[in-house]
């Protein structure tokens, strides 16, 4: 009886121990056996800042691998008749820059996929994978460390003679031609200015800035240690040598002569002159100094502009300023002290030589008129005694009033 009880106790103990061993085995990670070869296969050779890339690891029992250890261990072809490690084999990952998620992964058909997640730090990240006695590493270039090529272009590539702005575009790629995002690009130019001077590339590896220049300029872009070949933005030569006004000071209605002179050898197809008072004229194609006259309708300061057009389009403009004063006209009456119904001759005087007048408007405060004439004289008789006010307005050929004069007299 005692022997049977001892036998039963031993059997129960063995069963309990078996379950304990099985439970313990479940808690111990399954690692790669001796002779396993791990191969790391990054999707790209470089990674943008603040982004991620996938890394695939394979684990082959009794396999072999070839590869360039300098650029990434065990990256290359596998030889031998190896077989994938048992499903559930744990492979652990580490990196010197960024982080790996997940840091441990279990194989399926001898393969796992993890992600390398980068931050704002550039450099070469060494990713290591190990399981049991097997290990491998791969080096990935992060951020500016991965920059292989910087290509800079401009749109447009040429500007008019007055200069202007153009868009500067830098495209940053790695050795595989993949876009490198999140890296700072610094722009520089030998003429004008670029704003902003430093731009971070987007997910497409592109950074954009604006060049403002009045002269032909060369532009470069630098990312990390790589500087682009200079791109040239051409500013076309001016087609006009000079633009002047004679006289530069005159009275309203007095013709001013403007002279436009093209540059030597310039092929000017048209010149548009804006006189600054709302009126313009086109000279057409010119090959030598050309003149045009213009009379201003009112006193003031005016800026006249001559803009040339050649085969490339707008080829620059020049400006000049003229000062226009009121006509120094006066009004007189003969006789100066008339009687009722006595004819009085009113005379407008002081008109400058060459003034272009279209007509005169005479106004009386005795209830007559106004009267429009083309003469500087007008006879008039008053039908009542008292103080009388007379005014004459002078209108130029463009229709604007260019001067006025007034007179007060007493009718006896």
Whether 140 and 54 map to the same domain: the answer is yes
pLDDT of residue 399: 79
Judge contact between 215 and 238, C-beta under 8 A.
no
pLDDT of 326 reads 83
Cβ atoms of 92 and 137 closer than 8 Å: no
- Token pair of 69 as six digits: 């250890």
Q: Residue 19 in 3-state DSSP?
A: helix
Check whether 22 has a pLDDT greater than 60. Answer: no
295/337 same-domain check:
no
Do 124 and 137 share a domain, yes or no? yes
- If asked whether residues 116 and 69 sit together in one domain, one would say yes
Residue at 23 is within a domain: no
The tokens describing 207, both together, are: 């950074």
Residue bearing tokens 């399981």: 131
* Domain total in the chain: 4
Within-domain flag for 252: yes
Structure confidence at residue 158 (pLDDT): 86
What is the rounded CA–CA span in Å between residue 312 and residue 159? Answer: 9
Domain span at residue 352? 330-411
Residue 234: what pLDDT? 87
Half-sphere exposure of 236 (CA within 13 A, CB side): 23
pLDDT over 50 at 201, yes or no: yes
In-domain check, residue 151: yes
Same-domain pairing of 284 and 338? no
Say yes or no to pLDDT of 110 above 80.
Answer: yes
Q: Is the CB of residue 350 less than 8 Å from the CB of residue 326?
A: no
Residue ending a domain, among 186, 206, 235, is 235
Model confidence at 23: pLDDT above 60: no
Q: Which percentage of the chain shows pLDDT scores above 90?
A: 68
pLDDT in tens, 285-344: 998 999 999 999 888 899 999 999 876 666 778 999 999 988 889 999 999 999 999 999
Query: Which pLDDT score, from 0 to 100, does residue 7 have?
Result: 47
Comparing C-alpha atoms, which of 217, 224, 238 is closest to residue 154?
A: 217
Asked if residue 65 is part of any domain, the answer here is yes
Domain boundary, last residue among 235, 256, 271: 235
Count of alpha carbons within 13 angstroms of residue 308, beta-carbon side: 31
Residue 13 lies in a domain: no
Reply yes or no on whether the pLDDT at 72 is more than 80: no
In a domain, 25, yes or no: no
Cα separation, 149 vs 171, whole angstroms: 8
Q: Is the domain of 244 the same as that of 283?
A: yes
- Domain membership of residue 180 (yes or no) is yes
Between CA 358 and CA 350 the distance in angstroms is 16
Average pLDDT over residues 174-191: 92
For the chain, what is the radius of gyration of the CA atoms?
46
348 in the same domain as 305: no
Each residue of 394-405: pLDDT tens digit?
Answer: 998 877 888 899
Same domain, 124 and 177: no
Task: Note whether 248 and 176 are same-domain residues.
Answer: no
pLDDT over 80 at 274, yes or no: yes
Share of the chain above pLDDT 70, in %: 88
**246 and 337 share a domain?**
no
Give yes or no: residues 289 and 302 share one domain: yes
The larger pLDDT score, comparing residue 134 to residue 80, is at: 134
Distance in angstroms (rounded) separating the CA atoms of residues 226 and 308: 42
Q: Is residue 378 part of a domain?
A: yes
Is the confidence at residue 67, as pLDDT, over 90?
no
CATH of the domain at 162: 2.60.40.10
CB 283 within 8 A of CB 249: no
Answer yes or no: is pLDDT of 268 > 90: no
* Domain final residue, candidates 112, 145, 178: 145
Mean pLDDT of the chain: 87
- Cβ-proximal residues to 282 (8 Å cutoff; 6+ apart), any chain: 270, 271, 272, 273
Amino acid 356: pLDDT: 87
- pLDDT at site 81: 53
182 and 192 co-located in one domain: yes
Rounded to an integer, the average pLDDT of 202-209 is: 94
């Amino acid at each position: 009886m005692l022997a049977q009880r001892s036998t039963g106790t031993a059997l129960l103990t063995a069963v309990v121990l078996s379950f304990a061993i099985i439970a313990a085995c479940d808690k111990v990670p399954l690692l790669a056996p001796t002779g396993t070869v791990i191969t790391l296969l990054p999707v790209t050779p470089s990674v943008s800042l603040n982004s991620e890339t996938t890394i695939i690891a394979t684990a082959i029992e009794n396999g072999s691998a070839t590869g360039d250890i300098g650029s990434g261990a065990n990256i290359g072809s596998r030889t031998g008749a190896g077989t994938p490690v048992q499903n559930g084999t744990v492979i652990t990952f580490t990196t010197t820059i960024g982080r790996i998620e997940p840091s441990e992964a279990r194989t399926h058909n001898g393969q796992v996929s993890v992600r390398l997640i980068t931050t704002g730090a550039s450099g070469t990240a060494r990713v290591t994978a190990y399981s049991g006695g097997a290990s491998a590493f791969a080096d990935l270039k992060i951020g500016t460390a991965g920059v292989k090529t910087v290509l800079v272009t401009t749109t447009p590539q040429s500007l008019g003679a007055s200069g202007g702005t153009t868009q500067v575009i830098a495209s940053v790629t790695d050795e595989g031609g993949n876009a490198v995002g999140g890296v700072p690009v610094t722009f520089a130019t030998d003429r004008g200015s670029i704003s902003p001077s430093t731009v971070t590339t987007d997910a497409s590896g592109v950074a954009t800035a604006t060049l403002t220049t009045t002269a032909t300029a060369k532009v470069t872009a630098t990312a990390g240690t790589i500087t682009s070949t200079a791109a040239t933005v051409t500013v076309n030569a001016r087609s006009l040598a000079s633009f002047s006004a004679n006289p530069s000071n005159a009275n309203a209605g007095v013709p001013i002569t403007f002279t436009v002179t093209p540059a030597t050898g310039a092929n000017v197809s048209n010149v548009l002159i804006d006189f600054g008072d709302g009126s313009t004229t086109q000279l057409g194609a010119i090959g030598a100094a050309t003149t045009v006259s213009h009379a201003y309708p009112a006193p003031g300061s005016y800026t006249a502009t001559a803009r040339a057009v050649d085969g490339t389009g707008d080829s620059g403009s020049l400006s000049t300023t003229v000062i226009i004063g009121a006509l120094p006209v006066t009004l007189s009456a003969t006789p100066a002290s008339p009687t009722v119904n006595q004819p009085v001759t009113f005379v407008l005087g002081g008109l400058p030589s060459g003034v272009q007048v279209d007509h005169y408007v005479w106004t009386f405060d005795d209830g007559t008129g106004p009267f429009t004439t083309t003469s500087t004289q007008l006879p008039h008789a008053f039908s009542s005694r008292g103080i009388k006010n007379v005014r004459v307005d002078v209108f130029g050929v463009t229709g604007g009033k260019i001067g006025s004069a007034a007179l007060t007299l007493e009718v006896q």
